[in-house]
Structure 1
Amino acid sequence: MAASPGSPGALRRAGNEEFRRGQYGPAAELYSRALAQLEAAGDASAEERSVLLANRAACHLKDGACSLCVADCTSALELVPFGIKPLLRRAAAYEALERYSLAYVDYKTALQVDCSVQAAHDGVNRMTKALLEKDGVNWRQKLPPIPTVPVSAQTRWSVPSAQAPGANTPPAAAPRGEGDNTAAGMERARVLKEEGNELVKKGNHKKAVEKYTESLKLNKECATYTNRALCYLSLKQYKEAAQDCTEALKLDPKNVKALYRRAQALKELKDYKSSIADIKSLLKTEPKNTAALRLLQELNRA
């Protein structure tokens, strides 16, 4: 029997779709509504609630609301202990909050659940370096205890439908060009994007493109496309910049950065008509965007 439009299952799937489009606030709201319905009905399984909390935590992490991410992951882990996604997301949130000891414990716990998770290995390495710098050679003595993961949790892999981004699915190689929706893949994509961002700040756009390209192989995210487009503009690779913005707009049709950067690229490619169309679309969303208004004046003079 199909789920009704406002049922928890339908709300979760709608939230997953918003998440894939990079609309993390609306996705979190849909997951919250699904949770509220399950709790009101009183018949929610621990697994269902844990998945929704892990999904909402992913939204908080994407939006930089790290304390909210920690809270949701902790609740998810209370319902279903040793879930790989809430462990990795809480670790990433702790890392962003500079609570390196707690991040280290979560990354190490995730490796007990599945030792093949590259994001956890990378996280342990980063936290080891950070804790060594912070606490010196005796940093391990200050760590909270690392829980022992039972064998049942190490083998408790299922492949439930429609649970992304929070499903406890086993890490697996993604089909070529489709991204990697496992916890490890999503987390690795996030790290690569951040490394790209740091390279942009240093003005190394060519190297940043490489990082964003690797990230996009794992997770097709709107912001990563627009970031790479910015690099391509700096490198005068205008055709590639326009293509990246087009991909971003498939994920988020009103994305202001994608519209503005594609307009910039099309202007350089002397496609003034299409460039003006993008700026006019942008101005419907942000009518007082000064950079867009200035570019429109330039285009009208071209």
Structure 2
Amino acid sequence: MGNAQDKSPGSGGGGGRSPQATAGSGARSRGGGSAEKPQTRRVPGKGAANGTQRENTPAGGQQEQGSPAVDTSYLDAPAGALPPHLARLKNAGNHLFKHGQFGEALEKYTQAIDGCAEAGIDSPEDLCILYSNRAACFLKDGNSTDCIQDCTKALELQPYSLKPLLRRAMAYESLERYKKAYVDYKTVLQIDTGVQAAHDRVHRITKMLIEQDGPEWRVNLPEIPAVPLSVQQQHRDKPISAEVAQARAARAAHEEASRKDAHFTLLKREGNDLVKKGHFQEALEKYSECVALKPDECALYTNRAICLLKLNHFEEARQDCDTALQLEPGNKKAFYRRALAYKGLQDYLSASSDLQEVLQLDPNVREAEEELEVVTSLLRQSLMDTTAHTPRV
């Protein structure tokens, strides 16, 4: 038990969120020839094209007495350059999407797109957002083909818009059109290198394409467009939403925690290896670095106590064992190694007490039995020497 160190421990388009994107304009194109107006599917109980909704209301249209009023203030939030009745449709779609009602959200976005065409509104940015948001609904409902068409329309309106590119890439991937998906993911990463989903999927698709086409897989790829530097700079300068900032902060914290865990595991393993080789001073330094990273891990203090005992730093070893026992009051190793520290400090009574504690916790610890015999003998000898040197009165 005295030299055994503890093993070092072994060391991931968004559902549930608003599908807001950047930029758009124009009616939706189907198939080959002229642009067709998308069909609007009406949902019973939902408002007409003026964007109003009747939620949680009885059939008669009157709100029940005593029932809480439904907060629909989100409907009146500004929505780019859209007029109020179309802004309400877009906001209603965002609200429905956020609550997982993708089919109903799709209807709202479709009504807003139709309303723009009827009103002659030519705002590429706003239409791009509507097409991109509707594409998110198609993607959630497993309709990858229509998702691709809406994303392509959004990108015609606002080239290099990030979210339509990312959603189209996901739709291509779901249809196993991996080369096109790869191109869109790589384009996304030119605009924003921080999109982790794009990194992960590029890595996965690359392995699949190598298996499929061999070492010359790049030859068969469509051309990857070069995103203009002005677009990249514009994206970097664009203010980010609170939601995006929070997601980035969470990702950064996760990455930092993973980095710390990996470094900690490496240091602890190195410390353990150095103890086995008898390099106690170097091991002591490794464990001290570990303590700085994770000061609440009991094993670090019992491991470091081994090094201190071997270096005859008995008081420091005792202190580390005290800390370990504060963290884990029933830790046998801490009691045993503190007994050795007390022995080194010639406090044989305290050493005996700790060894008896070890044997009470586990009567089968042979090292503790043997050490107790030694300490008892030293204690007896110490008492005899004290008596011999005490003058008689």
User: What's the TM-score once normalised by structure 2's chain length?
Assistant: 0.41
Residue 222 (structure 1) aligns with:
none
Find out whether 1:132 has 2:238 as its counterpart. no
Q: CA deviation at 1:175?
A: 8.9
CA distance, structure 2, for counterparts of residue 160 and residue 7 of structure 1: 27
Unpaired segments ≥5 residues, structure 2: 1-75, 252-393
Residue 75 (structure 1) aligns with:
153
CA distance, structure 2, for counterparts of residue 117 and residue 2 of structure 1: 28
Find out whether 1:110 has 2:206 as its counterpart. no
Aligned partner (choices 146, 168, 176) of residue 98 of structure 1 = 176
CA distance, structure 2, for counterparts of residue 145 and residue 102 of structure 1: 9
Residue 27 (structure 1) aligns with:
105
CA distance, structure 2, for counterparts of residue 90 and residue 141 of structure 1: 22
Q: CA deviation at 1:55?
A: 0.3
8 Å Cα contact 1:73-1:86 kept in structure 2: yes
SS in 1 for 2:246: coil
Q: CA deviation at 1:7?
A: 1.3
Higher normalized helix content (fraction of residues): 1
Shift in CA distance, 5/87, structure 1 to aligned 2, threshold 3 Å? closer
CA distance, structure 1, for counterparts of residue 169 and residue 207 of structure 2: 15
CA distance, structure 1, for counterparts of residue 192 and residue 226 of structure 2: 13
8 Å Cα contact 1:67-1:93 kept in structure 2: yes
Q: CA deviation at 1:130?
A: 1.3
Aligned partner (choices 53, 72, 78) of residue 131 of structure 2 = 53
Residue 246 (structure 2) aligns with:
173
Unpaired segments ≥5 residues, structure 1: 162-168, 181-302
CA distance, structure 2, for counterparts of residue 130 and residue 110 of structure 1: 20
Q: CA deviation at 1:156?
A: 2.6
Residue 232 (structure 2) aligns with:
154
User: What's the TM-score once normalised by structure 1's chain length?
Assistant: 0.52
Q: Deviations over 1:175-217 (max 9, x none)?
A: 99xx99xxxxxxxxxxxxxxxxxxxxxxxxxxxxxxxxxxxxx
Larger Cα Rg: Structure 1 or Structure 2? Answer: 2
Q: CA deviation at 1:160?
A: 8.8
8 Å Cα contact 1:5-1:11 kept in structure 2: no
Map 1:223-302; keep pairs closer than 5 Å: none
CA distance, structure 2, for counterparts of residue 136 and residue 7 of structure 1: 54
Aligned-residue Cα RMSD (Å) equals: 2.7
Q: Percent identity?
A: 51
Q: CA deviation at 1:2?
A: 7.1
CA distance, structure 2, for counterparts of residue 41 and residue 62 of structure 1: 29
Residue 204 (structure 1) aligns with:
none
CA distance, structure 2, for counterparts of residue 115 and residue 30 of structure 1: 33
Residue 86 (structure 2) aligns with:
8
8 Å Cα contact 2:77-2:87 kept in structure 1: no
Q: Deviations over 1:120-143 (max 9, x none)?
A: 111111110111111111110000
